[in-house]
Each structure stands twice: as structure tokens, then as C-alpha cells.
């Protein structure tokens, strides 16, 4: 995937994950992009470990769901860390 596709994919996955986790008003669009891209990477690693398949990037509905799940996991970790500080 090209850089623009990564940004769009990350933005959409991060935005959906932030709405699921209730952080949409907090992190903004740049945060959504970062969370989506990092979440896609985390989700891809977890999927590769669980399924035994290789680690591959593609633009498909399955990859999109994996990216959202990874972003939700990342946001849950961030919520836990920030909850301890408060």
C-alpha cells in the first residue's frame, strides 16, 4: 500500500475504534490516524500469531476488521495507562 492509502486506512480504522472506545472527542484526527496505523500493525501481528498465516498487508474487509480490533486494543491499553495517572 502507498503512504496515502496507509493514512486513509489508518484514519478510518482509528476513527471507528475511537468511537467504539468513546475517545473520539479526545484525540482528534491526527490521533485517529496514528491509532489506526499502529492498531493495524498490532492487529496484524496478533492475527498472524493466532492464525499461523503470514503477516501481509492488503486493502480488504478482513484487514480492515483486524485493524479496528488492533486499534481498540491499543486504545484500551492507553485508557488503562491514563486511568492510572489520573
**CA distances from residue 48 to 40, 52, 78, 81 in whole angstroms, order as listed:** 12, 5, 23, 26
How many whole angstroms separate alpha carbon 18 and alpha carbon 12? 10
Q: How confident is the model at residue 45 (pLDDT cuts 50, 70, 90)?
A: confident
Average pLDDT over residues 79-84: 80
* Domain layout of the chain by residue ranges: 3-85
How many whole angstroms separate alpha carbon 70 and alpha carbon 86? 25
Average pLDDT over residues 7-17: 86
- Mean pLDDT computed over every residue of the chain: 82
Cell numbers 485517529 correspond to 32
Q: What is the largest CA-CA distance in the chain?
A: 40
Q: pTM value?
A: 0.81
Question: Is residue 1 predicted with pLDDT exceeding 60?
Answer: no
* pLDDT value at residue 24: 72
Amino acid at each position: 500500500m502507498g503512504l496515502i492509502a496507509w493514512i486513509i486506512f489508518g484514519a478510518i480504522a482509528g476513527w471507528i475504534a475511537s468511537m467504539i472506545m468513546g475517545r473520539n472527542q479526545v484525540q482528534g484526527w491526527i490521533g485517529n490516524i496514528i491509532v489506526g496505523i499502529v492498531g493495524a500493525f498490532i492487529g496484524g501481528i496478533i492475527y498472524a500469531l493466532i492464525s499461523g498465516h503470514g503477516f501481509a498487508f492488503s486493502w480488504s474487509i478482513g484487514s480492515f476488521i483486524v485493524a479496528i480490533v488492533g486499534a481498540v486494543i491499543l486504545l484500551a491499553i492507553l485508557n488503562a495507562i491514563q486511568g492510572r495517572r489520573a
